[in-house]
């Protein structure tokens, strides 16, 4: 697979780079960002933290705003930031031109409905195609963690819950925890997955957590931070529904409510160190 280097900037002794490539999964060109800390520059194979951004974002928001590179350099973590959606002249967008669906709002599911199914397969891209590319082209190991914000927090939890053993750790900032009962999720899932709500549950973190109840299966602990002054908390994000689902199922969820914080990247930047140290700890543990 051909990688086109778009930009390269030295940062805390490592390199922040952006690449374009042709995605077979999404049937379009995609751009991703990668931070290679100094240890990777020297040839060490390092673990990877995949970051999934939220509605309207691109691969650049996290790299520009979260302030994560300094600590990634200290901890020896590679950061990878895919885009939030397929893009391009042939990729369908919201028919009404709204910001909460379409380009920039792929919701990290694999669409089944026309015309979305040809391109909107972000789950498969994030879980399989992109890691295979990263592991083939860069000095990284097969140790992976995943995190994200808002729509990306939903995506991170779903990727981990649907793919046991794929990731060593998972965390989220202000995730859309129960998208099947969120206006954002309802709109996107209707377009991408159809009207049958039964087909939505495999893409909902609360439903996936509930499905583990009484089963002998891997229960990867989830760390979630939620700002108490987040304007979307009650209508769209529903952290208490996520908490209740975890408590009912006995699932290991740590949900921290952070007073005064909103939904912005100021919130993400304030707690990204906690999350990266959390991932580094799990990535350093020996395999089970």
Is position 263 annotated as part of the catalytic site?
yes
The rounded distance, in Å, linking the Cα atoms of 20 and 29 is: 7
DSSP annotation of 252 reads -
Given 23, 53, 147, 150, which residue is catalytic?
A: 150
Peptide bond into 95 cis (omega under 30): no
Q: Per 3-state DSSP, what percentage of the chain is helix, strand, and coil (rounded to 5)?
A: 40, 25, 40
Is position 150 annotated as part of the catalytic site?
yes
Q: Which of 67, 90, 78, 72 is nearest to 17 (CA)?
A: 78
Given 123, 149, 191, 263, which residue is catalytic?
A: 263
Are 157 and 184 within 8 A, CB to CB? no
| Sequence-ordered list of residues with C-beta below 8 angstroms from that of 233, at least 6 positions apart, any chain | 174, 226, 227, 239
Q: Which of 249, 255, 151, 160 is nearest to 209 (CA)?
A: 249
Are 154 and 180 within 8 A, CB to CB? no
Q: Which of 284, 175, 270 is nearest to 222 (CA)?
A: 175
Place of tokens 């377009």: 191
Given 204, 230, 249, 279, which residue is catalytic?
A: 230
Are 13 and 70 within 8 A, CB to CB? no
Supply angle C-alpha 33, 35, 39, rounded to 5: 155
Is position 230 annotated as part of the catalytic site?
yes
Structure tokens at 276: 């990266």
DSSP annotation of 215 reads -
Q: What are the catalytic residues?
A: 150, 230, 263
């Amino acid at each position: 697979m051909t990688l086109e280097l778009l930009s390269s900037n030295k940062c805390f002794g490592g390199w922040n780079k952006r690449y374009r490539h042709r995605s077979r999964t999404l049937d379009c060109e995609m751009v991703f960002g990668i931070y290679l800390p100094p240890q990777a520059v020297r040839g060490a194979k390092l673990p990877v933290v995949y970051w999934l951004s939220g509605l309207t974002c691109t691969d650049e928001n996290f790299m520009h705003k979260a302030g994560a590179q300094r600590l990634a350099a200290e901890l020896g973590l590679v950061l990878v930031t895919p885009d939030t959606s397929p893009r391009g002249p042939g990729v369908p967008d919201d028919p009404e031109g709204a910001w909460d669906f379409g380009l920039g709002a792929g919701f990290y599911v694999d669409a089944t409905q026309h015309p979305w199914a040809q391109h909107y397969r972000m789950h498969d891209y994030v879980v399989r195609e992109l890691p295979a590319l990263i592991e083939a082209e860069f000095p990284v190991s097969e140790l992976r963690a995943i995190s994200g914000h808002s729509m990306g927090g939903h995506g991170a939890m779903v990727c981990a819950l649907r793919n046991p053993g794929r990731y060593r750790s998972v965390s989220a900032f202000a995730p859309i925890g129960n998208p099947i009962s969120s206006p954002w999720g309802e709109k996107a899932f209707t377009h991408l997955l159809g009207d049958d709500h039964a087909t939505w549950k495999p893409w909902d973190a609360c439903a996936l957590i509930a499905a583990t109840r009484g089963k002998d299966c891997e229960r990867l602990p989830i760390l979630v931070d939620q700002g108490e002054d987040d304007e979307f908390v009650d209508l769209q994000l529903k952290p208490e529904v996520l908490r209740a689902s975890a408590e009912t199922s006995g699932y290991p969820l740590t949900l921290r409510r952070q007073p005064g914080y909103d939904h912005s990247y100021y919130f993400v930047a304030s707690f990204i160190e906690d999350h990266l140290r959390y991932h580094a700890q799990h990535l350093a543990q020996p395999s089970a």
